[in-house]
Structures are given as C-alpha cells and as structure tokens.
Amino acid sequence: MDLHKLEVFLNLTQTLNYTDTAENLFTTQGNISKQIKSLEKELDVILFKREHRQITLTKQGKAILPYAKKIVKEYSTMKIKISEIQDIDNSTIELHTIPTMPNYQSFGLITSFLQSYPKIQLQLKEEESYNLVTSLKAGKCEIIFARTFEFNDSDLERIIVENDDFVAVLPKEHPIAQKKKIDLIELKNERFLILGNSTNLYTPVLELCKNAGFEPNVTYEGTRVDLIMQMVQNNMGVSLMTGKTAQGFDSDKVSFVPLTSNISNKLCFIRVKGQHSKANELFWNYVKVHLNSIGG
C-alpha cells in the first residue's frame, strides 16, 4: 500500500474539503480525488459520502480511520528512530518565530522536543511577521513559526499547528463587552488601536472592517501588543486582534469578544522544500507525530 494514500485520507477526514486538503498537501484537487478513489478501490470500500457538494465519512471510513492513523504514526516514529541513531549530537537548529509564540501550542512542542533530545540546540530568534519568510528563503534560518492567511508558495512546506480567529478587544465597561458575539458594524464609530503595517495583521483587520461595511477610524498603529492592551484598558479605544494573542495578555479590565464574521488564519512551522540537516528532519518528524498529543 502507498502510504501517501493514507496521509491523503487522514487529511481529508480532518478538512472534509478536497480543496483544503489539496492546499495542505501542495497538490491539486483532482489528484486528491484520484488518491482517494485508488485507496477505495484497493480496500474495496467507499470511504466518503459525496452529497450536495459536501462529504462525510462512511461507516467503513470511520472503521478504517484508527488503523490508518496508527500506520502513519508508526511509520513516522520509525523515521524518527532511524534519525536518532544517526550523528545528531550537538546539532543546532535555527528557528525564527513571531514574538507571540509562547501563546501557542507550538511552544509546548518545542519544549517537549528539547526535553526528549537535550543534545540538540534550538536557537530561537523573534522576528516581525512580515520578515520571516524572507529570512527563511535567504538562509538566515532553517525553520520559521509564522501566521499564514493564504499559503501558495511552491518552494515551501508547512505543518499546521492550530487555527486562530480575530476577536474584538474592548474595555470591560464597554456597553457590548459582555456579549457572546458581536457584529463588527457595532464598532464602526469607535477609535481603533491596531497593530501596524509592519505586521501581517494590519491588512486583515482593515479587510474585516471593510467586509462589515465601514472604514475604521484608526487612531493608533504600533507593534507592541502589550501597549495596545494598556490603551484599551485605559478607554483610549478598541482593537481587533487574533484571539490567542489577545488571551496571552488577559486582564480583568479588558474583554475579548468573538466576531460573527471572521478571517481564519493558521499557525505553522514552515521550511524550504528539499534536503535538510538530520536535526531539522528529526524536529520536523517529531512535530508531525506529536501534534495530536497537544490538541493540534
């Protein structure tokens, strides 16, 4: 059996969308369909129901799922063990990351990796989001941890760790701060304090407001999340931030309210396709194997 077919099957069980799976695996929707049909023929089962442009797992698909997970995981574990016996002592991995990485599950993955392989040095360097891919392609680092809204670079590969959504950041006493969700149009008359154009969150915030039908009155642009939080706390305006970044600065004087309409983004480890150091491969495979253990 071609292991790649199982990897395609597992990804499709998560996305339930041929286009999304094709994007995740850097291929075409037609190739994903071809791989699934080939696997179904090989196993003599129907894995997915296809109705009204939506797909769901069949009973056979659900029955096969745990075995497919086990096979793929065991194969990845085998690759890790092979790497372990190679000369990786005192190796170093250069990893550049967005400044808010500790707010995300990736930080736990890095911590557990270093505990498992103490002889590997992982050098972390914070860098502004807009510069991370440039640094990666220039060879200044081996791996980056970055936020992606659209990902269509054929020279790069990524592992998606988790998703994130924008939230409204409001003073606790704001009239709508206690709502479970808000329509962004409710904030059209507010002063907006946002992360500036040097970050990759500036354009999505403006796009969110535009989609809601208004142009925000931006009275502050900056790069420091903590400063914006303090300004919101002091009733100087409101902000839009990604939820997990905002929650890293939790305060009893600030509320984080989900939006009815959003722009989803993904937190990923990214590297250039091709040959890599043994330590790099060990880290990459470790992340793949252990991602589910942290809820990714």
Tell me the pLDDT tens digit for each residue of 28-66.
Answer: 999 999 999 999 999 999 999 988 778 999 999 999 999
The count of structural domains within the chain is 3
Question: What CATH number does the domain containing 214 carry?
Answer: 3.40.190.10
Q: Could you tell me which residues come within 8 angstroms of residue 90 by beta carbon, excluding any fewer than 6 positions away? A: 119, 120, 121
Cβ(205)–Cβ(262) below 8 Å: no
* Sheet architecture: strand order including 121-126: 121-126, 92-97, 143-148, 265-272, 156-164
Torsion of CA 264, 146, 105, 184, to 10 degrees: -30
Q: Are 181 and 259 in the same domain?
A: yes
CATH assignment of the domain containing 48 = 1.10.10.10
Which residues make beta-bridge pairs with 222? 195
pLDDT digits (tens, 9 = 90+) for 164-201: 899 999 999 999 999 999 999 999 999 999 988 878 88
Residue 278, domain extent = 90-161+266-294
Residues 51 and 111 in one domain: no
Q: Is the pLDDT of residue 11 over 50?
A: yes
pTM of the model: 0.64
- What radius of gyration do the chain's Cα atoms show? 22
Distance CA 283, CA 121 (A): 11
